[in-house]
Structure 1
Amino acid sequence: MSFYQIFLPIATLLYLLLVFVLRSVILWKQTGVNPFVFGKSEKAHDYIGRVYKLMVLFTWVSIGCYSFFPSVYDYLQPIDYLENELLRFSGLMLLIISFIWTSIAQYQMSKSWRIGIDYNEKTKLISKGLFKYSRNPIFLGVLISYLGTFLIIPNILSFSIMLTTYVTIQTQVRLEEEYLETVQKGDYVEYKKNTRRWL
């Protein structure tokens, strides 16, 4: 196995466990609130939550084939002209940057962090730290991670995952903005004026 075949599944597992699972458990124990708020209804918000789960599953399929089933990986249609050491190394750096960036943003968001929108709760508006430079640093970190994964394993499936995740996150961000304008009112409107959506 190559370095990247070993690194990618380990890094992805640690990213999910440390950034999302562990952080959720810690927040749950601190506040008694489950930060995972996607439901099972047919509303757009909950539908997005199901799309996220599918993208995580397909990401594992892509990584699993690359690392453990090379003969199956060929069926994912690798994009040959993107398979070079410079792009793989760039993907590696993006994954590391994404992990650090997202971890810092989650720490700064503290007890206001949620996976999805809790329409029955008003959390504190965070506008300091990384949130001074991006209204959505956690989503930005997630997008960077998918780009990094694609650069390491450029194939049709990983490209489709990256594209679908990008569109889904863009939709989620706009739903959150509508919600925050409703509950935070003028504070959030002023924040939007001074801070860009991404960077």
Structure 2
Amino acid sequence: MVKNLYIQGQYIKIIGFLLLFLSLAFSVWARVILGKNWSGVIQKVQGQRLITKGPYRYIRNPIYNGIIGGFIGTFIIVGTLASLLGMLIIIVTYILKTIKKERFLVESFGEAYCH
């Protein structure tokens, strides 16, 4: 039997589900706004331009943040050691990817990205 790391009530699971759903919806919105600027890897895309509308108006890296939020919501719903470890692996991975992407965007867009 898989043991939960904390006491889970119905309301906790609802909060986890809402966080999961809203976070992933936020990521999808960001992806749609990126359009042809999106790439699965950090690289220059032909005709790439700096996007500053939609979720990019409010935060940097909204896709990454949404994915992290989705994994946090999943941990809240599931509550097991495996879900905690998965969440931590994703958080570390996306922090490292964000650092690399920030460098790339500063090099590509300079002052326009920094403001």
Q: TM-score normalized by structure 2?
A: 0.89
Deviation at 1:136, TM superposition (A): 1.1
Give the aligned residue type for 1:107.
Answer: V
Q: How does 1:145-160 map to 2 (within 5 A)?
A: 145-160=70-85
Who is 1:134 aligned against? 59
SS of 1:82's equivalent in the other structure is coil
Instruction: Specify which of 98, 109, 112 is matched with residue 184 of structure 1.
Output: 109
Within the alignment, does 1:113 sit opposite 2:38 as a pair?
yes
Deviation at 1:82, TM superposition (A): 3.2
Q: Which runs of 5+ in 2 are unaligned?
A: none
Within the alignment, does 1:168 sit opposite 2:93 as a pair?
yes
Within the alignment, does 1:143 sit opposite 2:101 as a pair?
no
Q: How does 1:1-199 map to 2 (within 5 A)?
A: 71=1, 74=2, 77-79=3-5, 81-118=6-43, 123-190=48-115
Deviation at 1:113, TM superposition (A): 1.2
The answer (yes or no) to whether the contact 2:16–2:77 under 8 Å persists in 1 is yes
SS of 2:60's equivalent in the other structure is coil
Identical pairs, percent = 27
Deviation at 1:118, TM superposition (A): 1.6
Deviation at 1:119, TM superposition (A): 5.0
Q: Which runs of 5+ in 1 are unaligned?
A: 1-70, 191-199
SS of 1:95's equivalent in the other structure is helix
The answer (yes or no) to whether the contact 2:37–2:45 under 8 Å persists in 1 is no
Counting matched residue pairs gives 115
Deviation at 1:179, TM superposition (A): 0.8
Q: TM-score normalized by structure 1?
A: 0.54
Indicate the RMSD between aligned Cα atoms, in angstroms.
Answer: 1.7
